[in-house]
Amino acid sequence: MSHYLAAAIQMAAASDKAANLERAERLIRLAAARGASLVGLPETFNWRGKRSEEAAAAEPLTGESLGAMSRLARELGLHIAAGSITEHAPGQSRRYNTSVLIGPDGAQLAVYRKIHLFDVDLPGRVTVKESEVKLAGAEVVSARTPRGTIGFSVCYDLRFPELYRRLAFAGAEILTVPSCFTFPTGEAHWDALLRARAIENQAYVIAPAQFGTNVHGFTDYGNSMIVDPWGRVIARASDQEGVVLAPIDLEYLLRVRREVPALSHVRLRRDLG
């Protein structure tokens, strides 16, 4: 399917998992009613809470949250890029930050565990050390689907262009970036980085995000968006919960790649696999 609508969902998830899942379902249903056939959820869409509660909130891939998304994908006939969940890692004291693609039959088509962990100290503004509670993934993941080949990333991965170039070399036409970008870094870099990843890889970028004051006491930037392969922002969320939609046109993507064949001109490719 070379032409269809995609949706990016913007949420303000908190520590009530049932409420988060109810909110996600409502917004997915809204996206489907508006014609979307690929829907992206933000990072940690199902639960955001205190670190002391994270172990109890973590789930396996067969758990409640992804089970609910699988049933919904099957009912509505959607591909759902299920943002990320905190995935329980058997025998480990830390957990993975995991994004899963679910197909219209409810099956899990791809599992990506966030590679780059957000350890940042902005004095007087925000301090986050994700590696204290999370394990880093190691696998670059993409999936061929009738909606195009989709490449996966999560939030802080956005700052590492080599990941996206590997995805492009693997055939990715759509890049997903579910996020909880903090306001200071989001205001400075979110737009520029998303547009850069779209331009340099000549791919669509779907970036669903959390927004507003979160349970940790700092502000998430929001501005969920979809960017086209020419680097144009073709959908952007306002400062509230909701859904933004934009057309995905894979014929247009091929035209961009044909007219500016930068990917075929790459010289320093060997180290990127």
pLDDT at 137: 97
Active site residue 155: yes
Going residue by residue through the chain, which has 273 residues, state the pLDDT in tens, using 9 for 90 and above.
789 999 999 999 999 999 999 999 999 999 999 999 999 999 999 999 988 899 999 999 999 999 999 999 999 999 999 999 999 999 999 999 999 999 999 999 999 999 999 887 767 766 778 888 899 999 999 999 999 999 999 999 999 999 999 999 999 999 999 999 999 899 999 999 999 999 999 999 999 999 998 888 889 999 999 999 999 999 999 999 999 999 999 999 999 999 999 999 999 876 655
The verdict on whether 180 is a catalytic residue reads no
> Tokens 């930037």 belong to which residue?
221
Give CA–CA dist 163/74, Å, rounded: 30
Contact (CB, 8 A) for 179 and 208: yes
114 contacts 86 by C-beta, under 8 angstroms: no
Which candidate, 226, 130, 230, places its Cα nearest to that of 178?
Answer: 226
Q: Give the amino acid at 71.
A: R
Which residue out of 17, 87, 114, 180 is catalytically annotated? 114
What pLDDT shows up at residue 118? 86
| H or E segment to which residue 267 belongs | none
| Catalytic residue from among 155, 173, 180, 241 | 155
Cβ atoms of 203 and 175 within 8 Å: the answer is: yes
DSSP letters for 46-81: S----GGGHHHH-B-TTSHHHHHHHHHHHHHT-EEE
Specify the pLDDT at position 218. 84
Compute the distance between CA of residue 192 and CA of residue 170 in angstroms, rounded to an integer.
Answer: 24
Among 17, 43, 59, 134, the active-site one is 43
The class (CATH top level) of 3-261 is: alpha beta
Give the per-residue pLDDT at 270. 61
End-to-end CA distance of the chain: 28
pLDDT at 272 (0 to 100): 57
Catalytic residue check, 114: yes
